[in-house]
Amino acid sequence: MNARVLRLFESVPLVCLLLTPDIIGFILLASDIMKRDSKLDLLQGTLDLLILRTLQTGPLHGWAISDRIQQISQDVLQVNQGSLYPALHRLEHQGWIKAESGISELGRRARFYRLTASGKKQLELEVDDWERLTVAIGRILEEA
């Protein structure tokens, strides 16, 4: 993986982001971990990983994906719609998810997204990359 790790926002102790050449989407991270209202941006690769992992449990429509990520992260991660839908289209174009029309729990037409076989393989790769990155960051934090 050809990536750079950057430190953003000098007031935040250490926020590392994985940058890839096709960065488009952002997730707003409401940093209640830092005990304040600052917001941080996590980049596209992380959003893709979160979407793929969320869809591993079964098909969901866009709003439900965003809501599920927010719920599981206990309101730390908030995916805005302007980032979510371009990411969903990108993942669909890659063949990692498939969209089908359906009716939401509110009785409205919606596109439901599900993980494809190649999406499951990609998720495994993304999780491996994420684990390597977090272990490396952990080592630096322990040594510093």
Q: Which residues contact 72 (CB under 8 A, 6 or more apart)?
A: 54
Q: What is the pLDDT of residues 112-135, one digit of tens each?
A: 999 999 999 999 999 999 999 899
The three-class DSSP label of residue 13 is coil
Q: DSSP class of residue 3?
A: -
Whether 14 has a pLDDT exceeding 70, the answer reads no
* Position with higher pLDDT, 82 vs 17: 82
**Which pLDDT value is given to residue 4?**
37
The CATH architecture of the domain made up of 45-143 is Orthogonal Bundle (1.10)
* Position with higher pLDDT, 2 vs 77: 77
Q: DSSP class of residue 137?
A: H
**Which pLDDT value is given to residue 67?**
95
Measured from the Cβ of residue 118, the count of other Cβ atoms closer than 10 Å reads 12
Q: How many residues does the chain have?
A: 144
- Domain boundaries in the chain? 45-143
